[in-house]
């Protein structure tokens, strides 16, 4: 699997000459990629990196040369990598791990506090305040697949809807997934409540109308970085080199529409109306200090050989703290911030990111750079670690109460849901994922 190793870019003592980077979600040990353009402009989105409260314009920086001259930088490879990213982030992705690393080292050294005045001047000319730009989807997404990899989520939903705690047998043997719509995936902050069919309990005929059981799903996005040829599966030894990085993802779900249509096929209109992404891709190399051993509960079957490996066992997990906050329209009108309603960790997933990539390709499916794989809802072992409101509110039987006194069995119009993520541990610099935000607008009657 060959996960990225620790190197100079993970130095916890390193600080930046850009003061806002130090102690922020985006220190120089992070350097996540995204796309931006000036606010209120019609310009095309271009590639940048988040550094403190600034975005670094890769296209502008690629025209400069001083920042590439530091000792230890593979100048030729870093130059080609910057030029590729300036054109299209997918071009950088397809260059592979060596190019990703070369550009990361060059950027890290150029932003480190001991960079020369000439380098600082050159890099400063490529910085723009995040407050002055519009952020787009981090990369042009070609295909989207959503997995189902949390044992706790699967168990909790079964209990909430009255099916019991049993989980389908195939869940324990392979990462299950369905193909979603890339066309309705993005960072846009608001969407309309979907219309559709649903069958009310006790009725003999479905009703058509606005979704009554709108939910969020706390997930992470896996960004594919390398193509694999059609008919050529990716092995566990190769999987990590095919993953560029991770972001946050909200797989909005119309539960009443979803449960009616999923007989016998999978999600369709219950899922295809909106999927929200955070604007930044945190690279796998940035996550190296936060890797964990992969450990399967001994009460559950161990993975088959094609989904197992020594490196997986030692480093397959990733320690990411995650939270969900909700802000109602009333809270917004009163100037209240979003209220945290759950907190969990990515380490609880039953399947790891490398196993999802392998399972996706094992039949010969060809993934492309820029494709997104959703991890499925991320829930933990305790009730407060639920990654969806259907779990928290027990399918509406036990509504949650907000600080305003409002209650929620499912989401209401005007609700904004905010996902956040960060990695923290002793001896490492905290790195953040930013936030993934979305607001529910009233339905548009067809």
What's the number of CA atoms in the CB half-sphere (13 Å) around residue 53?
Answer: 5
Q: Distance between CA atoms of 395 and 379, rounded to whole angstroms?
A: 15
Cβ-based neighbours of 169, under 8 Å, separated by 6 or more: none
Q: What is the structure's pLDDT at 64?
A: 94
Question: Strands 431-441 and 190-192: what pairing?
Answer: parallel
d(CA 95, CA 288): 20
Q: What pLDDT sits at residue 3? A: 79
Q: What percent of the chain has pLDDT over 90?
A: 94
Q: How confident is the model over 209-267, as pLDDT tens digits?
A: 999 999 999 999 999 999 999 999 999 999 999 999 999 999 999 999 999 999 889 99
The HSE-up count of residue 295 (CA atoms within 13 Å, CB side) is 7
Give me 144's structure tokens: 């989207």
Does residue 153 have an active-site annotation? yes
Q: Is the pLDDT of residue 1 over 50?
A: no
Distance of CA 408 to the CA centre of its chain: 25
Q: Where are the beta strands (DSSP E) in 115-250?
A: 127-129, 133-136, 144-148, 176-179, 185-186, 190-192, 195-198, 207-210, 214-215, 218-224, 243-250
Q: In this predicted model, what pLDDT tens digit does every residue of 104-137 receive, in sequence order? A: 999 999 999 999 999 999 999 999 999 999 999 9
What's the pLDDT tens digit per position in 64-99? 999 999 999 999 999 999 999 999 999 999 999 999
Furthest C-alpha separation in the chain: 75
Start-to-end CA span in the chain (Å) = 49
For CA atoms 20, 25, 26, 29, give the dihedral sign: positive
Work out the number of other CB atoms within 10 angstroms of the CB of residue 269: 16
pLDDT band for position 446 (50/70/90)? low
Among residues 153, 348, 350, 360, which one is catalytic? Answer: 153
* Rounded Cα–Cα distance for residues 14 and 29 (Å): 8
d(CA 151, CA 171): 8
pLDDT in tens, 146-192: 999 999 999 999 999 988 889 999 999 999 999 999 999 999 889 99
Q: Judging by beta carbons within 10 Å of its beta carbon (0-12, 13-18, 19+), is residue 87 exposed, middle or buried?
A: middle
d(CA 419, CA 276): 10
Q: Which residues contact 49 (CB under 8 A, 6 or more apart)?
A: 31, 32, 33, 34, 55, 56, 58, 107
CA 121 from centroid of its chain's CA atoms:
33
- Give residue 292's Cα distance to chain centre: 18
- The overall average pLDDT reported for the chain is 96
* C-alpha torsion 383→389→393→397, nearest 10: -140
Look-up: residue for tokens 């195939």?
170
Percent of the chain surpassing pLDDT 70:
99
Q: How confident is the model at residue 295 (pLDDT cuts 50, 70, 90)?
A: confident
pLDDT-derived band at 18 (thresholds 50, 70, 90) equals very high
pTM for this predicted structure: 0.97
Which one, of 420, 430, 335, 344, lies nearest residue 380 by Cα? 344
**pLDDT score for 297:** 87
Please name which of 197, 193, 194, 215 lies closest in space to residue 205, comparing C-alpha atoms.
197
The pLDDT tens digits for 316-346 are 999 999 999 999 999 999 999 999 999 999 9
Structural domains in the chain plus CATH codes? 8-136 (2.30.30.230), 144-441 (3.90.850.10)
pLDDT at residue 347, as a whole number? 97
Upper half-sphere CA count for residue 248 (Cβ side, 13 Å): 30
């Amino acid at each position: 699997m060959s996960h990225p190793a620790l190197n100079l870019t993970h130095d916890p003592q390193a600080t930046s000459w850009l003061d806002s980077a130090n102690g922020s979600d985006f220190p120089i040990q992070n350097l996540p990629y995204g796309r931006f353009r000036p606010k209120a402009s019609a310009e095309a989105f271009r590639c940048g990196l988040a550094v403190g409260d600034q975005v670094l314009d890769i296209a502008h920086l690629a025209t400069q040369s001083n920042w590439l001259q530091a000792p230890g930088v593979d100048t030729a490879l870093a130059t080609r990598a910057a030029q590729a990213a300036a054109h299209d982030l997918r071009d950088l992705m397809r260059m592979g791990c060596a190019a990703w690393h070369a550009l990361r080292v060059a950027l890290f050294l150029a932003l480190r506090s001991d960079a020369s005045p000439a380098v600082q001047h050159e890099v400063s000319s490529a910085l723009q305040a995040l407050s002055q730009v519009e952020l787009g989807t981090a990369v042009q997404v070609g295909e989207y697949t959503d997995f189902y990899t949390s044992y706790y989520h699967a168990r909790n939903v079964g209990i909430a809807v009255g099916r019991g705690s049993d989980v389908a047998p195939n869940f324990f043997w392979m990462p299950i997934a369905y193909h979603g719509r890339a066309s309705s995936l993005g960072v846009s902050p608001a969407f309309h409540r979907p219309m559709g069919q649903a069958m009310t309990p006790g009725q003999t005929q479905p009703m058509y109308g606005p979704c009554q059981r709108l939910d969020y799903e706390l997930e992470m996005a896996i960004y594919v970085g390398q193509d694999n040829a059609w008919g050529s599966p990716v092995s566990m030894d190769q999987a990590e080199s095919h993953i560029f990085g991770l972001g946050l993802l909200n797989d909005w779900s119309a539960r009443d529409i979803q449960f009616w249509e999923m007989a016998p096929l999978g999600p369709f209109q219950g899922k295809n109306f909106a999927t929200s992404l955070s604007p930044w891709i945190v690279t796998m190399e940035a996550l190296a200090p936060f890797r964990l051993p992969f450990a399967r509960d001994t009460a559950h079957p161990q993975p088959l050989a094609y989904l197992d490996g020594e490196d997986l066992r030692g480093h397959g997990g990733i320690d990411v703290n995650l939270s969900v906050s909700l802000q109602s329209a009333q809270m917004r009108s009163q100037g209240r911030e979003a209220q945290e309603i759950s907190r969990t960790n990515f380490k609880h997933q039953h399947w790891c990111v490398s196993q999802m990539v392998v399972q996706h390709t094992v039949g010969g499916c060809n993934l492309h750079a820029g494709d997104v794989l959703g991890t499925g809802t991320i829930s933990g072992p305790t009730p407060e670690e639920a990654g969806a409101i259907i779990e928290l509110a027990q399918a509406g039987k036990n509504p949650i109460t907000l600080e305003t006194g409002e209650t929620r069995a499912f989401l209401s119009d005007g609700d904004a849901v905010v996902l956040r993520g960060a990695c923290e541990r002793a001896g490492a610099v905290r790195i953040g994922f930013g936030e993934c935000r979305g607001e529910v607008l009233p339905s548009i009657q067809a």
